């Protein structure tokens, strides 16, 4: 049986009196790709922010790589984040920095590498995402899909054990979205990275996921493979898959 690498235990979170997480319990296995599904406002992205310590739950525990994130100070969280990569929804590149400097940024922040080692690492990660040779380009010279791939190269630059994707295919044409899906799978297979994908894209979920967890009314209401969710007798799961829940 695979090791549990991330665990949410009875997690509660509210904003302005509105309960977003109402006792979240979820275990994530080492090396798997798990997707988080749910309607708008169901708290999917909040879970990612809680996982890396950008937000703190009101109650409950979040265990990551044998650390309880809810009890860590900022210094310890910074150290933990060296082991976690994140691809933000809009890629979140620094507009004033070249592609090279964007990818080099976490290397300079977290690792003690020589300039030559940084150059080699950047080139290697750009090759992984199929964008060799664009180090000198600025973000405004890139298409939406290229920005996502540069963001992905930056996310894997520190060679993390965990990678988080927040809406990785949003705003992309179908061919580019499929390329991102293929990269998610390729990185997991080549590097064994534990992967969490937050997405509304059911094609992405079906394509990349080992398992899927669905959030509804602050709880995880179903966890399983795509086939298990499709045949589930839980009405809210069927409504979401059939498009009857607003995403």
Number of folded domains that form the chain: 2
- Domain with 213, as residue range(s), is 1-83+162-247
Q: What is the pTM of this model?
A: 0.88
In the beta sheet, which residues pair with residue 28? Answer: 6
Tens of pLDDT, residue by residue, the chain (247 residues):
469 999 999 999 999 888 999 999 999 999 999 999 887 777 888 999 999 999 999 999 999 999 999 999 999 998 898 899 888 776 688 889 999 999 999 898 878 889 999 999 999 999 988 899 999 999 999 988 888 889 989 988 988 999 999 888 877 888 888 888 888 898 888 888 999 999 888 888 888 999 999 999 899 999 999 999 989 888 888 888 876 444 4
Instruction: Indicate whether 138 and 215 sit together in one domain.
Output: no
Could you say which of 159, 174, 195 is where a domain stops?
159
For residues 120-158, one letter each, b for 16 or more C-beta atoms within 10 angstroms of the residue's C-beta and e for the rest, the string is ebbbebbebbebeebbeeebeebeebbbbbbbbbbbbbb
Instruction: Indicate whether 124 and 145 sit together in one domain.
Output: yes
Instruction: Indicate whether 168 and 75 sit together in one domain.
Output: yes
């Amino acid at each position: 049986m695979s090791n549990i690498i991330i665990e949410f235990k009875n997690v509660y979170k509210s904003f302005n009196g509105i309960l977003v997480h109402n006792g979240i319990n979820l275990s994530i296995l080492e090396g798997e790709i798990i997707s988080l599904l749910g309607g708008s406002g169901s708290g999917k992205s909040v879970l990612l922010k809680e996982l890396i310590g950008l937000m703190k739950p009101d109650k409950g525990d979040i265990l990551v790589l044998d650390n309880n994130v809810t009890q860590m100070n900022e210094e310890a969280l910074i150290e933990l984040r060296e082991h976690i990569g994140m691809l933000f929804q809009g890629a979140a590149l620094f507009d004033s920095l070249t592609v090279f400097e964007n990818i080099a940024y976490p290397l300079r922040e977290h690792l003690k590498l020589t300039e030559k080692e940084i150059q080699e690492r950047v080139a290697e990660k750009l090759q992984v995402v199929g964008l060799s040779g664009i180090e000198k380009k600025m973000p405004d010279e890139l298409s939406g899909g290229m920005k996502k791939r540069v963001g992905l190269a930056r996310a894997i630059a520190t060679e993390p054990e965990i990678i988080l994707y927040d809406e990785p295919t949003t705003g992309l044409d179908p061919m580019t979205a499929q390329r991102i899906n293929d990269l998610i799978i390729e990185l997991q297979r080549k590097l064994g990275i534990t992967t969490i994908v937050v997405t509304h894209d059911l094609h992405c979920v079906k394509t990349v996921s080992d398992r899927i967890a669905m959030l509804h009314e602050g709880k995880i209401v179903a966890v399983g493979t795509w086939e298990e969710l499709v045949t589930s007798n839980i009405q809210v799961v069927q409504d979401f898959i059939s498009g009857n829940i607003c995403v």
